[in-house]
Structure 1
Amino acid sequence: MVREWIRAFVGVFFAFLGVQSEADRRYDFEKGRFSVFAVAGLILTFVFLSIVYGLVQLALIYVQ
């Protein structure tokens, strides 16, 4: 179960970057569960948006 979650997070992360191999993508679609990938995608989207928000706030501190 833990391995499935780790593989989902890695797959979603590489998909965000656009560097996921065709073999890994095919494996994820054939063997992975949608719910695991959906949750991993939502969590990584939240993390990405939080990082962008933090960087913008940091930039605004130095601009003023």
Structure 2
Amino acid sequence: MPLIQATILQGRSVEQKNEFFARVTQVAVETLNVKPEQVRVVIHEVAPEHWCIGGLSKAEIDKRAAEKG
């Protein structure tokens, strides 16, 4: 049974996450030769304050971008 884990920023809609689940499951079925019911997909959502890019949190990057216009 494959277990696929993805870490993403918070803020995606339920619809987006459900589409992600469906597509990742389908890829696993096609490439790993397993049944859909054997695939497990887990999303770990991270707050923008806890996601760092180049030494700045994503929240700070977004704040600075908004301030620029």
Structure with more of its chain in strand, by fraction: 2
Per the normalisation by structure 1, the TM-score is 0.38
Normalized per residue, the structure richer in helix is 1
Larger radius of gyration: 2
